């Protein structure tokens, strides 16, 4: 019997790659995103596209209700929908900051709230939250994005202990730099928000760094394989991270360096 999976943010990047990879490996997959027109090609893999705007309660409940009607329950939720807002904390309007958290945090948690009752009833479930190395390390000009991923990490830790008793696993996946629309959107927004403010020099240098790093990204299929490893493990790890040298090195340095040493290292790379 195929397990039903809901993958959010499935119109591109990690979400699309994950939806396709899981469908190819025997799962019944629903690919969800606002742009359903960009998911029509998923049908060739047996994936069912479904409209979902994670910032709208009516859209979230309609999405989950439709899958419940058609499949009975959702065995695996992959919370991938998200984006990165770049710019100095002083420069970003609070309305935009709230939207960052609505997409990356509250939407994911609302979906979890809706799928958990049937998971508890079935005594089985997997909730995979796609975080980031940026959920452990914060860089300048990415404060609100990092805040959303730090929050997702903490919520995952709390939820993991809460639902383990019901046979449900909560798994965090922490990608490093990955080929997707995310990078272009984030860097373009960075210059729009802070490219002409008191932070313009830092923004320009950060933009240059992002441009260099864009040539050293992992393919989204790498993350898709991590997701599958997590949901199929008898006793999954709490976190799965890519084996990229840069990401592994950063996480190691974060553990061994003081905050001020880490700040100095990050700023040296930007300059």
Tell me how far the alpha carbon of residue 82 is from its chain's centroid: 6
Q: How many CB atoms lie within 10 A of CB 108?
A: 27
Residue 27 is given by DSSP the state -
Active site residue 149: yes
171 DSSP β-pair partners: 128
What is the distance between the alpha carbons of residues 238 and 29, in angstroms, rounded to a whole number?
A: 23
What is the distance between the alpha carbons of residues 224 and 45, in angstroms, rounded to a whole number?
A: 15
Q: For residue 4, what are its two tokens? A: 């039903």
| Options 27, 145, 199, 240, the catalytic residue | 145
What is the distance between the alpha carbons of residues 193 and 206, in angstroms, rounded to a whole number?
A: 13
The long-range contacts involving 242-251, CB below 8 angstroms and separated by at least 24 positions, are 242/174, 242/175, 242/176, 242/178, 242/218, 244/176, 244/177, 244/216, 244/218, 246/176, 246/177, 246/213, 246/216, 247/133, 247/174, 247/176, 247/177, 250/133, 250/137, 251/133, 251/136, 251/137
**Planar angle of CA 208, 138, 9, nearest 5 degrees:** 80
| Options 21, 136, 149, 199, the catalytic residue | 149
Q: What is the dihedral sign for C-alpha 147, 156, 76, 67?
A: negative
Q: What is the dihedral sign for C-alpha 112, 115, 119, 125?
A: negative
- In three-state secondary structure terms, 4 is strand
Q: Which residues are catalytic?
A: 145, 149
């Amino acid at each position: 019997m195929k397990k039903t999976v809901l993958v959010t943010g499935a119109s591109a990047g990690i979400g699309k790659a994950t939806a396709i990879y899981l469908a190819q490996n025997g799962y019944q997959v629903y690919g969800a995103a606002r742009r359903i027109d960009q998911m029509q090609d998923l049908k060739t893999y047996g994936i069912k596209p479904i409209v979902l705007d994670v910032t709208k309660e009516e859209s979230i409940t309609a999405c989950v209700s439709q899958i419940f009607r058609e499949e009975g329950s959702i065995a695996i939720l992959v919370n991938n929908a998200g984006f990165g807002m770049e710019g100095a904390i002083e420069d970003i309007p609070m309305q935009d900051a709230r939207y960052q958290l609505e997409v990356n945090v509250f939407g994911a948690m609302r979906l979890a709230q809706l799928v958990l009752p049937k998971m508890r009833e079935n005594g089985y479930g997997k909730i995979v939250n796609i975080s980031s190395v940026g959920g452990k390390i914060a860089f300048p000009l990415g404060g609100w994005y990092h805040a959303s991923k730090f929050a997702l990490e903490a919520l995952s830790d709390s939820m993991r202990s809460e639902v383990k008793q019901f046979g449900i696993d909560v798994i965090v996946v922490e990608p490093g730099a990955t080929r997707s629309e995310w990078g272009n959107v984030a860097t373009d927004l960075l210059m729009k928000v802070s490219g002409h403010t008191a932070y313009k020099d830092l923004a320009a240098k950060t933009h240059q760094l992002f441009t260099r790093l864009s040539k050293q990204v992992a393919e989204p299929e790498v993350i898709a394989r991590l997701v599958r490893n997590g949901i199929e493990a008898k006793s999954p790890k709490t976190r799965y991270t890519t084996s990229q040298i840069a990401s592994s090195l950063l996480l190691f340095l974060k553990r061994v360096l003081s905050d001020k040493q880490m700040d100095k290292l990050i700023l040296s790379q930007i300059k």
